[in-house]
Amino acid sequence: MDVGGTSVRAGVVDEHGSLMDTARVGTPGEENALEDAIAGVVEDLRNRHDVSGVGLAVAGFVAKDRRTVMFAPHLSWRAAPVAERIEKRVGLPVTLEHDANAAAIGEYRFGAARGAHVAALVALGTGIGAGLLLDGKIFRGAHGVAPELGHLTVVPGGRACPCGKYGCWERYCSGTALAATAVELLARHPGRSTVLARETRGDPGSVTGRRVAGAARDGDPIAQRAMTELAKWLAEGLALVADVFDPEIIVIGGGVSESAPLFLDEAREHYAGKITGAGHRPLARIRTAHHGDDTAIVGAAALAVDAAKALGAEVGVTG
């Protein structure tokens, strides 16, 4: 399951990393309601499949024991024993993982990052999640929360972020950021008749990243300008990622990656000129996630299987 700020998405995954079935609900804002929603989706899929465990990919800080969510900017959990609570509700073993770490594992085992010694994944969704793999192992840092790239400050004193800071990368490069940029552009050009202006009819709350992407595909100049801004900020952030980690490959995942044809080539070009030592060092390959927006679900399932195998070995169970 992928528990994000906008939706809770689940899939039944087989041993080859293929999705057999899916389900989705909106993300409730309150803790108990969120956990009820997760349990409800699990039960829905269990009615159709023989499910043996649950992996939760969470948009937040997960403790090193992968049982507790310490903090989640877009979710209601704070120091919450989520794995234990969900286990009680569904009667299945539950494994937690940061959503971008889960996505990185999914792409390493079954997708674009397969075989890479150093791979970074940047998931563009409601915010930005990031995962780093060193020879197939997740790099977690000293306290289990690395690398939180989405909250690097790229514009000091810039847009407010739910994390409490200002000017975070994800405020300029995410689905939420795409909508915010489009709203700003519409406000600057109030008399301009565009597809996006007509669809939203002066209601900023109706502007979403998905709607902006659709308008950009239809040739809307405001939406296309917003996409250009997204490409620029993606490149700026990826140059920082490459300067710090020097990965072989950077995988772009998350829901926004579905619109990659609208921005990724431009981002690659800008990135190539922004990286330190441009023209004198190898560039990381930049690819979209093989499993698209489902890659965190696939990775969470793989990690749930790993946890089940480890538990079986610990208690002497095989098969």
The overall average pLDDT reported for the chain is 92
Between the alpha carbon of residue 294 and those of residues 46, 66, 218, 246, the distances in Å are: 19, 21, 26, 26
How confident is the model over 24-31, as a mean pLDDT?
94
Enumerate residues 6+ apart whose C-beta is below 8 A from 277: none
Output phi, psi for 252, to 5 deg: -100, 115
DSSP state of 317: -
pLDDT at 146: 87
Local confidence band at 317 (pLDDT 50, 70, 90 cut-offs)? very low
- pLDDT of amino acid 312: 64
Query: For 125-129, 143-147, 271-275, 283-287, which range has the lowest pLDDT when averaged over its residues?
Result: 143-147
- Whether 147 has a pLDDT exceeding 70, the answer reads yes
User: Could you report the per-residue pLDDT of 35-79, keeping only the tens digit for each?
Assistant: 999 999 999 999 999 998 999 999 888 988 889 999 987 789 999
C-alpha–C-alpha distance, residues 119 and 23, integer Å: 29
Q: What band does 144 get if pLDDT is binned at 50, 70 and 90?
A: confident
Q: pLDDT above 70 covers what percent of the chain?
A: 97
CB-based contacts of 137, cutoff 8 Å, min separation 6: none
| Phi–psi pair at 303, nearest 5 degrees | -70, -30
Q: What percent of the chain has pLDDT over 90?
A: 76
Write out pLDDT tens, residues 101-141: 999 999 999 999 999 999 999 999 888 989 999 999 999 88
Diameter of the chain measured on Cα atoms: 71
Q: What is the pLDDT of residues 159-195, one digit of tens each?
A: 999 889 999 999 999 999 999 999 999 999 887 768 8
CB of 39 closer than 8 Å to CB of 10: no
